[in-house]
Amino acid sequence: MPSMLRQITDFANRANPYPIYEELRRTPVLHEEDGPYVISTYYDIEALLHDPRISSDAVNVTAGGDDELSGQEATGLPPSFIRLDPPEHDRLRRIANSSFGPPHRPRRIENLRGDLGEIVTGLIDGFGDARQVDLVDQFAYPFPVTVICRLLGVPREDEPRFRAWVDPIVAGLDPDSRTSADSERTAQEARLQLGMYLNGLVEQRAKEPRDDMLSDLVDSKGPVGAMTTMEVLSTAVLLLIAGHETTVNLITNGMLTLLRHPEVLERLRDDPGLSVRIVEELLRYEPPVQLLPQRTCITDIEVHGVTIPKGSRIWLVLAAGNRDPERFKDPDRFDPDRQDIQHLGFGSGIHSCFGAPLARLEAQIALSELARRLENPRLVEDPPPYRQNAVLRGPRHLDIAFDGLR
């Protein structure tokens, strides 16, 4: 991999990639031989996310590999809707959204608030007499996994099974992993196995519908038609993975940031409502999704005076755009009182994060309760060890010591 691209994906830079992003912004359109075109400034990224000449469909790539949520040739599953363009993208997303929010389920997420609070309370109570915990393994991971399992209708006790498949699929997101044929095959096999597991649940719901999203997907009807069984499976794979992986990082990055800014943590303890602004600033300051490497231009386009040829792969470095001084004042400062907060943490345009309302609510409840209940929390190791993934960035472990539970 060329030098600058290697710096972006280099595991050694995971703890603090922001100096690399600052350097990237000096060349708004970076292109190195045989590599993608890397876009790192806010306004260019935002424009391209809304540009119909930019495709998310892998069939438009003239060079390069695939990603973890498509690859029908290898897995037998069609691409999920995040890897499709209109009109197919719009049809599948509209069906999926009908069981997730308006107009058919307008209060599905808000009605989860009580359940979310109970899950968080149970996890924190589960710390017991311990005075040190790994926040990832004991809180930030089990919380959103439990939530998405309930929403979809996946048995929570099956988590060890599907985690064994999810981990290699998520590892396949990292652009650097595409250099390893073994990694790619492992991710494809894991996606196939996860699809087969979900197929068993889908067959059950076809016979005995329940009040869950899998049943809604199976029974989808309406002006845009129904999903095929294969489309239900690819959508279920997407929702299961995206429904918890990014939220794990959002919560973990959030608590790490708050512990580095104890004055903000203290304010949150006294005012749980501050969690709304804190989460929005976190999505700008430490977004769980750092870059989008799965975009292709379907015609020649010009960005910042550079012509990007048709069929070229484009990387959109969301985290670099979120700290662009041309867009945000004092962008390297964590400021929950920031008034202008139109971040790229959930992307933008037709592919903006499907689960954003749920992720926001989960993070708000998680962080406000951790702030309220942990007495004198402090980091055991800073920086903590990070996951080896340039796309989904977050600590693999976050050890926190505290004096007790309120």
Tell me, what's the pLDDT at 61? 63
253-308 per-position pLDDT tens digit: 999 999 999 999 999 999 999 999 999 999 999 999 999 998 999 999 999 899 99
Q: Which two tokens stand for residue 366?
A: 């998680």
Kindly give the pairing relationship between strand 378-379 and strand 306-308.
unpaired
Kindly give the pairing relationship between strand 378-379 and strand 399-401.
antiparallel
pLDDT in tens, the chain (406 residues): 457 888 888 878 889 999 999 999 999 999 988 889 999 999 999 999 999 999 999 787 654 344 443 444 344 688 899 999 999 999 999 888 887 876 667 788 888 999 999 999 999 999 999 999 999 999 999 999 999 999 999 998 998 888 888 888 888 777 765 555 677 778 888 888 898 999 999 999 999 999 899 999 998 876 677 899 999 999 999 998 888 889 999 999 999 999 999 999 999 999 999 999 999 999 999 999 999 998 999 999 999 899 999 999 999 999 999 999 999 999 999 999 999 899 999 999 999 998 999 999 999 999 999 999 999 999 999 999 999 888 999 999 999 999 999 9
Q: DSSP string covering 172-204, please?
A: TTSGGGGG-HHHHHHHHHHHHHHHHHHHHHHHH
Tell me, what's the pLDDT at 188? 83
**Which pTM does this prediction carry?**
0.91
CA–CA distance, 211 with 201 (Å, rounded to integer): 13
Residue in the block written with tokens 């996606």? 191
Give me the numbers of helices (H) and strands (E) for the chain, helices first please. Answer: 17, 12
Hey, what amino acid is at 12? A
Where is 294: in which H helix or E strand? strand 292-297
Q: DSSP string covering 35-77, please?
A: S-EEE-SHHHHHHHHT-TTEE--GGG-SSS---TT--HHHHSP
CA distances in angstroms from 271 to 340, 363, 369, 372, listed in the order given: 21, 15, 11, 9
First to last CA, the chain: 50
Phi first, then psi: give them for residue 395, nearest 5 degrees: -65, 140
CA–CA distance, 186 with 368 (Å, rounded to integer): 38
Where is 228: in which H helix or E strand? none
Radius of gyration of the chain (CA): 21
Q: Which two tokens stand for residue 67?
A: 């990603």
CA–CA distance, 90 with 56 (Å, rounded to integer): 13
> Does residue 376 come out as left (phi exceeding 0), alpha (psi in the -120 to 50 range) or beta?
left
Long-range contacts from 160-168, C-beta under 8 angstroms, 24+ separation: 161/197, 162/194, 162/197, 162/240, 164/190, 165/190, 165/191, 165/193, 165/194, 165/197, 166/190, 166/194, 166/240, 166/241, 166/245
